[in-house]
């Protein structure tokens, strides 16, 4: 089912390092592993590599070899394609809650 995708997406997004990697790619465009690793001074490079493998496996990033470097780029659609519809349920609910408040205020205005 579609829930499968949501599951793996949320799981991969649960880790702050992985989210920061995505944020870096979103902000700067494609980066190689060393450039990314430079942003995590208290993490060893192989650790970053492992996270990148996770991101690749779920299709959130794409890697292209350039000489001896791997250039990672963001696949934003893989994030939004699943998250946006999921979130819309809550957007709707929040909007409805706001509307209920408006109604209540109105009824309060006209008293009774």
Among 80, 40, 38, CA closest to 59: 80
Residues 6+ positions from 75 with CB-CB distance below 8 Å: 59, 60, 61, 62
Find tokens 């408040």 and name the residue: 101
Q: Which does 103 bind (CB under 5 to 8 A by kind): a copy of itself, DNA, none?
A: none
Task: Give the separation between CA 23 and CA 80, rounded to whole angstroms.
Answer: 13
Rank residues 46 and 80 by Cβ distance to DNA and give the closer one.
Answer: 46
Give kind and range of the element (H or E) at residue 86: helix 76-109
* Per CB under 7 A, 69 contacts DNA: yes
Binding mask 27-66 for DNA (x = CB under 7 A): -----xxx--x----xxxxxx-xxxxxx--------x-x-
Q: Which is nearer to DNA, 68 or 102 (CB)?
A: 68
CA distance 59 to 109: 53
Q: Which of 28, 38, 77, 85 binds a copy of itself (CB under 8 A)?
A: 77
Closest among 2, 111, 22 to 74, alpha carbons compared = 22
**Residue 104 near a copy of itself by CB under 8 A:** no
Q: Which of 43, 48, 46, 41 is nearest to 18 (CA)?
A: 48
Binding segment toward a copy of itself, per CB under 8 A, in 30-38, 39-47, 49-57, 72-80: 72-80
Note the residues at the interface with a copy of itself (CB under 8 A). Answer: 3, 6-7, 10-11, 13-14, 16, 19, 22-23, 26-27, 74, 76-77, 79-80, 83-84, 87, 89-91, 93-94, 97
């Amino acid at each position: 089912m579609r829930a499968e995708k949501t599951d793996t997406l949320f799981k991969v997004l649960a880790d702050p390092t992985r989210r920061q990697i995505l944020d870096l790619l979103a902000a700067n465009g494609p980066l190689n592993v060393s450039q990314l690793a430079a942003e995590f001074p208290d993490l060893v490079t192989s650790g970053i590599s492992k996270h990148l493998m996770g991101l690749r496996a779920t299709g959130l990033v794409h890697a292209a070899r350039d000489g001896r470097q791997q250039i990672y780029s963001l696949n934003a659609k893989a994030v939004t394609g699943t998250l946006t519809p999921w979130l819309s349920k809550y957007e709707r609910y929040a909007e409805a809650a706001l509307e209920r408040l408006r109604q209540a205020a109105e009824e309060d205005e006209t008293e009774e």
